[in-house]
Amino acid sequence: MAKKQTLKNDDINEKKRLELYNTQYLIRFAEQRAYDLFLENLVKGTSHLSLGQEAIASGFANAMQKNDKSFCTYRGHAHTLARGASVVGVLGELMQRDCGLMRGKGGSMHLTDTSKGVMGSYAIIGAHLPMAVGSAWRAQYLGHDDVATVFFGDGTTNIGAFHEALNYAVVYKLPVVFVCENNNYMEYTPIESITAVKNPAADRASAYGLESIIIDGNDADEVYRTAQKAYAKARAGDGPSLIECKTYRQSGHSRADPGSYRPKGELEHWKKNNDPITRYRERLIEFGIKQNVIDDIENNVKELVDQATEEAKNSPVPPEDILTTNVYANGGWAWRN
């Protein structure tokens, strides 16, 4: 974990800091609501929450331009919400309702909203890295200024697609940013027990001629500043960046995981000392932002999520006639049979 920085308020203005906090708090509260809906048996199947990792999604999303592209893992709620996707659409998708982002057909692990630049959440480990590279190649070829950002877990760094995507992006100097969310665990296995280097992403950067970048992924300001530099580099035609964000997931790998493999006291330590929401709220107060302003943000988020929850609950399930549509690129299954 990086050392706590000396606080500076000159490069990130108050408006942006409030936006960073709003995004983090929205992710936290919406995901807690998703967990509650699981307990009510309104969400079927599994889901992977980002509780404790909100600063990464917030920092990068707030540094992006509107036309930039996000490629997410199956733990994609946070990044989808951070880009401005409808809360009703996200919760509706989790509950398999017609109001969902994909009308209830995709579910938790496939959240997509191309209107917001969210190019999909991918359940296959590492599969989306070459896709992000392809998006960046398209932008370079057409002369567009959008940057692709691909988020992935620490375990993905041991997958072949990680190395193939990095190599190709560097060779062609593509506008893509690789973001490793290192939360210490490959599902149930500590990353350090199965990886030859201490920092699974950053320690491999030099093999591709990239700078080794390790940041505190629970500090939204540090994430935001680092993202700004990476996007400026990409838009200038200077190629990709690989950023390793040190963080920690406060929930299990999925809702079926009680996290019993964690060492005693580890979770409590991270919650007490490195919770991104608590840290950022304290920082806002240090910068002189009034408590009532912070309270208003939190209350507005709660009201938004409450309203979205009720709207999603009251939405009908999708009609049967869309069952075989959008299965293949031509919109139906007949082409394949």
331 in a domain, yes or no? no
User: HEC string of the chain?
Assistant: CCCCCCCCCCCCCHHHHHHHHHHHHHHHHHHHHHHHHHHCCCCCCCCCCCCCCHHHHHHHHHHCCCCCEEEEECCCHHHHHHCCCCHHHHHHHHCCCCCCCCCCCCCHHHCCEHHHCEEEEECCCCCHHHHHHHHHHHHHHHCCCCCEEEEEEHHHHHCHHHHHHHHHHHHCCCCEEEEEEECCEECCEEHHHCCCCCCCCHHHHHHHCCCCEEEECCCHHHHHHHHHHHHHHHHCCCCCEEEEEECCCCCCCCCCCCCCCCCCCHHHHHHHHHCHHHHHHHHHHHCCCCHHHHHHHHHHHHHHHHHHHHHHHHCCCCCHHHCCCCCCCCCCCHHHC
8 in a domain, yes or no? no
pLDDT of res. 1: 45
pLDDT of res. 286: 93
pLDDT of res. 266: 84
332 in a domain, yes or no? no
34 in a domain, yes or no? yes
pLDDT of res. 8: 52
328 in a domain, yes or no? no
pLDDT of res. 330: 66
4 in a domain, yes or no? no
323 in a domain, yes or no? no
pLDDT of res. 5: 45
Kindly report the pTM of this predicted structure: 0.93
Indicate the number of domains in the chain: 1
pLDDT of res. 3: 44
pLDDT of res. 103: 95
Residue-by-residue pLDDT tens, the chain, 337 positions = 444 444 455 689 999 999 999 999 999 999 999 999 998 999 988 888 999 999 999 999 999 999 999 999 999 999 999 999 999 999 999 999 999 999 999 999 999 999 999 999 999 999 999 999 999 999 999 999 999 999 999 999 999 999 999 999 999 999 999 999 999 998 888 899 999 999 999 999 999 999 999 999 999 999 999 999 999 999 999 999 999 999 999 887 887 777 888 889 987 988 899 999 999 999 999 999 999 999 999 999 999 999 999 999 999 999 999 988 877 766 566 655 4
CATH number at residue 198: 3.40.50.970
Domain that holds residue 200: 17-318
104 in a domain, yes or no? yes
